[in-house]
Amino acid sequence: MRRHLHAVAAGKSDTLKIDVHDGELNSSALLVELIAPLDQESLAFRQIASAIERSGTVDAVIDGLGSRDPIVRARSARITGAMRMEQAVPWLTPLLWSKAPAVRDSAARALARIGGVRSAGALLMAIQRIGPRPSLIVALARAAPDLYLEAVLGGSQLRAAQPAVAMAAGLRGRRTAAAALILQLRSGSRRARKASSRALGWLGASGGIPELTLALEHRDWWVRMSAAKALGAIPAYRPGPELRACLADRNPRVRRSAQDAVRRLSRR
């Protein structure tokens, strides 16, 4: 199978039949292993994609997403992700809240790899439905196109998902998200403030320093702790009296975060 895959990638063979139901050979793992390092626009990738399409494997894989067997569903999801099969997004979406963890993870990874508005929308829907699971947040960060998360953060709907979106924006590392995160930190819910603080820290956004400094005096210890952690991660921040005051905070976790932040900043 591995030899055949290499032959297809080299253009020596133009058909590629993959049986996702095969109990002995996990051909999806072999395919993913071969495809993973390839660029979507590379010749090898295009040759494998056209071979799969020509041999009817695309339909078999999409059928596999609806299989009763969780192993088949997970394998099919991995193939759709590896091949960036955008047409499979509607079938991948319900797998995100599957009872089988392997299926959920494979679907989330597949959507992250496919990317684009539709994949991001599906992940957002799953976050709303089953809560902010780490795998979903990471997948959302990878799948979301430019200005997608920023737009969701600034909107009035999807309030429940906004902390997760804020985390995804931080993980994504785009500075365009800083403005939306500062807004969340200023007027969001408790969870949203916490998530936005952390995200601003990951971004190292110097524009967030004034708002994070204000958050150090927030009545909620969770917000104070997150703000202290975030300020410790921003290279442009110079410890001021607000952070030093946190060293004597009544909450031990805030005190510890402030100590860590001061230590990190003094090392620079």
Partner 1 sequence: MRADIPVAGSRAIGPGNPPPVLNGQRLARPFNRTRELADSSWPPYHAMLERVEVLERAPVFFALPESTIRNLARRVRQIMIAAGGAIVYQGETGDTIFFIESGSCRVIIERPPSAVTVAVLGPGDFFGEAACILGRDQQASVIAQTDCRLVALDKQSMTSVVGRDTEFLDELRRLAHQRYRTFADTAVQAAWGMLLDEATVVGLYSPKGGSGGTCMALNLVGCLSRIHPGQVVLLDLDFPYSHAALLAGLVPTSCLARMTATPPEAFEESLLSTILYHSGGPMILPGALRPEESDEVTPDLIARAVTVLRKTFRYVVVDMGIAIDDSTLAVLDLTQHVIVVAAPELSAVKSAADAIDILRKLGTPDDRLTVVLNNRSAKPAVMKTAVERTLKRTVDVEVAFDGAKPDEAALTGTILSLTDPRSEITRGARTLADILEGKHGNSRRRLQQINGGAPAAVESDC
- State the residues that interact with partner 1 by CB under 8 A: 40, 84, 86-87, 89-90, 93, 114-122, 124-125, 145-148, 150-158, 173-180, 182-183, 205-207, 209-210, 236
Shorter beta-carbon distance to partner 1: residue 139 or 182? 182
State the minimum distance, in angstroms, from the CB of residue 23 to partner 1.
Answer: 31
State the minimum distance, in angstroms, from the CB of residue 225 to partner 1.
Answer: 22
CA pair distance 160, 100, nearest whole angstrom: 24
CA pair distance 181, 163, nearest whole angstrom: 10
State the minimum distance, in angstroms, from the CB of residue 158 to partner 1.
Answer: 6
Shorter beta-carbon distance to partner 1: residue 128 or 259? 128
Q: What is the CA radius of gyration of the chain?
A: 22
State the minimum distance, in angstroms, from the CB of residue 140 to partner 1.
Answer: 12
Select from 176, 169, 219 the least CA-distant residue to 197.
169
Q: Which residues contact 263 (CB under 8 A, 6 or more apart)?
A: none
Shorter beta-carbon distance to partner 1: residue 19 or 63? 63
Both tokens assigned to 215: 């958050």
State the minimum distance, in angstroms, from the CB of residue 83 to partner 1.
Answer: 12
Both tokens assigned to 5: 């895959």
State the minimum distance, in angstroms, from the CB of residue 77 to partner 1.
Answer: 16
State the minimum distance, in angstroms, from the CB of residue 47 to partner 1.
Answer: 14
Q: What is the DSSP string of 176-243?
A: THHHHHHHHHHHS-HHHHHHHHHHHHHHT-GGGHHHHHHHTT-SSHHHHHHHHHHHHH-TT----HHH
CA 99 distance to own-chain centroid: 20
Shorter beta-carbon distance to partner 1: residue 114 or 258? 114
Shorter beta-carbon distance to partner 1: residue 196 or 226? 196
Shorter beta-carbon distance to partner 1: residue 156 or 266? 156
Burial 213-247 (b: 16+ CB within 10 A, else e): bebbebeeebbbbbbbbbbbbbeebebeebbeebb
Shorter beta-carbon distance to partner 1: residue 77 or 152? 152
CA pair distance 172, 195, nearest whole angstrom: 14
CA pair distance 215, 173, nearest whole angstrom: 22
